[in-house]
Amino acid sequence: GPREEIVYVPCIYRNTGRKKPDFLATVDVNPKSPHYCQVIHRLAMPNLGDELHHSGWNACSSCFGDATKKRNRLILPSLISSRIYVVDVGTDLRAPRLFKVVNPEDVFWKCNLGYPHTSHCLGSGEIMISTLGDPAGSGKGGFILLDGETFEIKGNWEKGDKVPPMGYDFWYQPRHNVLISTEWGIPKCLGYGFDPNDLKKGRYGRRLNVWDWTTHTYVQAIDVGEDAAPLEIRFLHNPDAAEGFVGCTISSAIHRFYKTERGDWAAEKVIQVPSKKVEGWLLPEMPGFITDILISLDDR
């Protein structure tokens, strides 16, 4: 397809000492433009202290073949405030405007969840957002469902009483009837930044959590190590693939996860980033703190 000419970047002021709202920056990435690599628009959020995190589209490849779906809304979950912003990028893609705000009270009361993180669109047209915890800031892995047209909260995606103790990112592979989510840590601890005193106390995640895609139930936990904090998870792009990779931030390792011959799921460490000796930091050695991973479009 044609080369992208702009990118949208969430920009965060929280914990910088500046009392300003987070904003969505529009950056010109057209090499032929006189404004190449410049911020050409800023959309400020109407509140302070949100901490915008991972953004997602209202429609994507999950809706392939549905001519009624358009990629014209950007979903911006706020990790700390638990607000969810919906941004109109269809009217003027170079100057986005705020379309809707889902208030934290709605997230709390309708889903008993808080601290939203990853937003993905579904083939059904709905929007699914993972969360780190409950409204009180304790750990709880769950998912919010938004209507894809009105962006009203429809409720929880997960069913049953069994849920993981923490949440963070997720990805799904319907052809293998699976969704796998990850764990960062307990929100009321994470909100103050990394603290070595939280290590060895069960406050950081260690599991990949496997869900049955059809029944929406939690079926398996894969342990990748104490305080590993598995974050971004990616299946291969091939929709038939039964494997992918996940980056663990504190343990600074990449694990490959895969479907076994028994039909359940397992993981193996394939990359280890060594720590570095440092001075003037919290610990004598600093981990690599892997925060995100990308898999090339050819899955190689």
pLDDT in tens, 240-263: 999 999 999 999 999 999 999 999
**How far apart are the C-alpha atoms of 225 and 203, rounded to whole Å?**
13
Q: What is the pLDDT of residues 211-236, one digit of tens each?
A: 999 999 999 999 999 999 999 999 99
pTM of the model: 0.95
**How far apart are the C-alpha atoms of 141 and 162, rounded to whole Å?**
10
| pLDDT average, residue stretch 160-177 | 96
93: which 2 tokens? 């893609």
- List the strands of the sheet with 207-212, edge to edge: 170-173, 178-181, 207-212, 217-223
Which domains does the chain possess?
54-286 (2.130.10.10)
**Would you state the pLDDT for residue 193?**
83
What are the phi and psi torsion angles at 50 (to 5°)? -70, -45
Residue 1 burial (CB count, 10 A): 3
**How far apart are the C-alpha atoms of 284 and 276, rounded to whole Å?**
8
Query: Is the pLDDT score of 63 beyond 80?
Result: no
**Would you state the pLDDT for residue 169?**
98
**Would you state the pLDDT for residue 60?**
77
Report the 3 state secondary structure along 261-291. CCCCEEEEEEEECCCEECCCCCCCEECCCCC
Query: Is the pLDDT score of 68 beyond 90?
Result: no
Please state, rounded to an integer, the average pLDDT across all residues of the chain.
Answer: 95
Query: Is the pLDDT score of 65 beyond 90?
Result: no
Burial 73-82 (b: 16+ CB within 10 A, else e): bbbbbbbbbb
| pLDDT average, residue stretch 43-53 | 96
**Would you state the pLDDT for residue 288?**
93
Query: Is the pLDDT score of 272 beyond 80?
Result: yes
**Would you state the pLDDT for residue 29?**
97
**Would you state the pLDDT for residue 194?**
86
- Structure letter (DSSP) for residue 260: -
